[in-house]
Structure 1
Amino acid sequence: MWTADVCSNHFWALIEQSLQVSTAKDERVAFLKARLAQESTENIAAIMVCLDDHKERLNTWDMYGAFWYLFQVGSMDSFSAFQSWLVGLGRSKYESLAAGADNVTELSEIRGILEARTATEARDPRGVTLFELREPDFSELDSLVYHAYIRSGGKEDALDDLYAVAEVAYSAVQPVGEEWDISDIDEVRRRLPRTYEYMTRLRQRYRPTEA
């Protein structure tokens, strides 16, 4: 059954083990599917709650604002997939992000994606969307845990009680915290100063020079 200990130990052990196997998404998915097939229905349910519990800590307006500002993507589905991707980076990096959304551009994985996109846009005036390059998306993590639960004999209607006991939102949608206009550049600069400064420097670096 769900306990805080499961979240702090067993869940993160699975994530870290998958990272040791490979950084490639498809290989990590295959590993996690195989590992979850060995777990009991109760343990898989607990892992599902743990995943949503950790995503809930990232589901803030500040993180949503950072996601929008960096990637110009605003759908809730994409933001949820981004949260899963951040969880998938491992416990240490996750904890730094849960401590504050403005830490997001400290991650080498984030910088690698942003630099690739910005360099491509500088070469091609038509530009390129982030998702045409490398996606900060690990929505497969959510689906593989859910399907492992169902395959093990778990029942959908049993999840409501489990999430209620754990005091975790099931499939949370709207960000929490103080709502603000994420399209307002002055608000971004005020609330996420390091994120704003990083992107300003990055765009200046790749700004086309006049002949």
Structure 2
Amino acid sequence: MDIEAFWDLIERSGAEHSTRQARLEWLENELSRRPLEEIVDYQLLYEAAHMRGDSWDMLGAYWLVFSSSIDGFHDGLSWLISLGREPYERVVDQPDLLTTLPQVVAAYATLGSWTDEERPEFERLSYVAWRACKKMGVRDAFADALDDRRPPVSDWLGQKWDCEDWAEAERRLPRTVAFLRAE
């Protein structure tokens, strides 16, 4: 599986299904029909996309908008991945564009009163390949293949900074801060 096929699966799951549970089931079924090697590819591509979002500025933007924990931020990256390639790559390349996504604006407008479907987090997306392998009875082989092929985990991208420092936030994320002040 290449990067195009990975994003095609993510985007098709969203286009064809309106609930997160239906998307997860569809992805699990799609992956469970594929060879183990492709499921490993999918997981490694998912992890690479996720790690691409592990930047201090992305954490800052997400934290400022949603007041999230580190775990919530990582689940938020999964949600952003679920939105598709173009919005995800645009935002991780320029975290200050987070509040230009209509889904982010909608989630911010209902801050604190989210249903599970509306919450800007999607942790279970990160487990779909594991669930497909469990269904196929090849979880151990999947884990071994991941261990053999998984690159070393990298540090967070960019320079560390304190997300609660509004002067620094305004310097790094001026659009995000302006959005929050306007609300």
TM-score after normalising by structure 1: 0.78
Structure 1 residue 175: Cα displacement? 3.0
Structure 1 residue 13: Cα displacement? 0.9
Equivalents in 2 of 1:72, 1:175: separation in Å? Answer: 19
The one of 121, 124, 147 aligned to 2:131: 147
Match of 1:138 in 2: 122
Equivalents in 2 of 1:12, 1:29: separation in Å? Answer: 15
Aligned: 1:17 with 2:12: yes
The one-letter amino acid of 2:13's match is: S
Aligned: 1:89 with 2:83: yes
Equivalents in 1 of 2:125, 2:115: separation in Å? Answer: 21
1:108-123 superposed matches below 5 A: 108-117=102-111
The one of 168, 171, 178 aligned to 1:190: 171
Match of 1:121 in 2: none
**Local SS of the residue matching 2:119:** coil
- Please list the CA deviations of residues 166-211 of structure 1 after superposition, one character each: whole Å capped at 9, or x if unmatched: xx63xx7x63320001111111111000000011101xxxxxxxxx
Equivalents in 2 of 1:16, 1:60: separation in Å? Answer: 24
**Local SS of the residue matching 1:59:** coil
The one of 177, 189, 192 aligned to 2:158: 177
Quick one: structure 1 residues 17 and 105, their matched pair in 2 at CA, closer, same or farther if it must change by over 3 Å?
Answer: same
Contact residue 40 and residue 142 of structure 2 kept, 8 A: no
**Local SS of the residue matching 1:135:** coil
Contact residue 85 and residue 136 of structure 1 kept, 8 A: yes
Match of 2:72 in 1: 78
Task: Give structure 1 stretches of 5+ with no counterpart.
Answer: 118-128, 203-211
TM-score after normalising by structure 2: 0.90
Quick one: structure 1 residues 68 and 130, their matched pair in 2 at CA, closer, same or farther if it must change by over 3 Å?
Answer: farther
**How many residues are matched?**
179
Equivalents in 1 of 2:49, 2:142: separation in Å? Answer: 22
Larger radius of gyration: 1
Equivalents in 2 of 1:178, 1:27: separation in Å? Answer: 38
The one of 72, 81, 92 aligned to 1:98: 92
Q: Identity of paired residues, percent?
A: 29
Equivalents in 2 of 1:69, 1:200: separation in Å? Answer: 11
The one-letter amino acid of 1:114's match is: Y
Equivalents in 2 of 1:94, 1:56: separation in Å? Answer: 12
- Please list the CA deviations of residues 36-81 of structure 1 after superposition, one character each: whole Å capped at 9, or x if unmatched: 111111100000000010111111000101111111112x221111
